[in-house]
């Protein structure tokens, strides 16, 4: 049961089919608390913390082991293996959306559907590709984070949350950032913002829902549209929610979009609803 302990795995719900929820950068499984209750009657809900965050066992962390997003995908697969999970509906927020894509490429038979909330395969602009950030902008962000992690957390959290009318949400995100293991968080930020997984997208064969928020500074609309064009079996849905964390700022809308997706067993590009 090494992975279950390492990643502080929680299992709840009354159903048999599994929904596996993966949190975004600097967060933990508590960030799903407004979403998962809607699925616990019908599904088995599995939550976990990435190493370095929440109550995961940080003693298992080394830079060598966790050097790429694929490393975190392997953690996901080890959790699935220890729980003997198959036919999984994976719900990933932010960087965990791409971690889920990589996991499903490695072991496609384990996953039936992916829900990708605010995903990005590459954050840096590259030729005709618009990732939302210049190389200089990402370097500056990482330098700020390295030099003053607490200052970065309190400054960036409200911007990432994108809901100034709900300042308590930005404060919660900042607190979550600040409670993370600082060295792991710095390493994970570099891996997250410097990764380029664009070439992996065509290799995914699992049906996927892309949830795109308004005014998302981390994953703007052009990124969601790029994901949709390059994922063979995907649906892109635009939420009215603003910011990068609709699981906190707009859980009802997020739940409704996921429920609608799960009610459509045969998903092909031509049937995609919003684009």
Residues recognised as catalytic: 94, 216, 244
Q: Compute the distance between CA of residue 214 and CA of residue 30 in angstroms, rounded to an integer.
A: 23
Q: Compute the distance between CA of residue 183 and CA of residue 146 in angstroms, rounded to an integer.
A: 9
Where do runs of H (alpha helix) occur along the chain? 2-6, 69-82, 95-106, 135-147, 149-161, 167-179, 182-194, 221-230, 246-249, 251-262
Q: How far is CA 186 from CA 177, 190, 244, in A?
A: 11, 7, 20
Pairing of β 44-47 and β 10-12 = antiparallel
60 near 6, Cβ under 8 Å?
Answer: yes
Q: Compute the distance between CA of residue 13 and CA of residue 18 in angstroms, rounded to an integer.
A: 9
Q: Compute the distance between CA of residue 273 and CA of residue 239 in angstroms, rounded to an integer.
A: 12
Q: How far is CA 241 from CA 84, 253, 263, in A?
A: 35, 8, 22
**213 phi/psi in degrees, rounded to 5:** -95, 160
Question: Where does residue 128 rank: exposed (0-12), middle (13-18), buried (19+ CB within 10 A)?
Answer: exposed
């Amino acid at each position: 049961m090494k992975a279950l302990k390492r990643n502080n795995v929680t299992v709840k719900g009354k159903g048999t089919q599994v929904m596996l929820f993966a949190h975004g950068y600097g967060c933990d499984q508590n960030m799903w608390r407004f979403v998962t209750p809607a699925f616990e009657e019908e599904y088995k809900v599995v939550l976990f913390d990435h190493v370095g965050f929440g109550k995961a066992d940080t003693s298992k962390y080394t830079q060598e082991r966790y050097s790429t997003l694929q490393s975190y995908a392997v953690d996901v697969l080890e959790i699935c293996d220890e729980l003997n999970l198959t036919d999984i509906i994976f719900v990933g927020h932010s960087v965990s959306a791409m971690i889920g894509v990589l996991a499903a490429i490695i072991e496609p038979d384990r996953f039936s559907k992916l829900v990708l909330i605010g995903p990005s395969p590459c954050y840096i602009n590259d030729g005709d590709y618009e990732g939302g950030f210049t190389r200089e902008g990402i370097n500056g962000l990482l330098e700020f984070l390295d030099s003053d992690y607490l200052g970065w957390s309190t400054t960036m959290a409200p911007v990432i949350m994108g809901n100034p009318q709900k300042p308590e949400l930005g404060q919660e995100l900042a607190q979550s950032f600040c409670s993370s293991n600082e060295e792991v968080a710095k390493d994970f930020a570099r891996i997250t913002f410097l990764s380029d997984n664009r070439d992996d997208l065509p290799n995914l064969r699992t049906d996927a829902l892309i949830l795109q928020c308004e005014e998302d500074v981390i994953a703007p609309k052009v990124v969601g549209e790029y994901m949709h064009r390059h994922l063979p079996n995907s649906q892109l849905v635009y939420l009215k929610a603003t910011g990068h964390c609709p699981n906190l700022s707009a859980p009802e809308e997020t739940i409704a979009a996921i429920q609608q997706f799960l009610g459509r067993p045969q998903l092909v590009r031509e049937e995609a609803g919003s684009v």
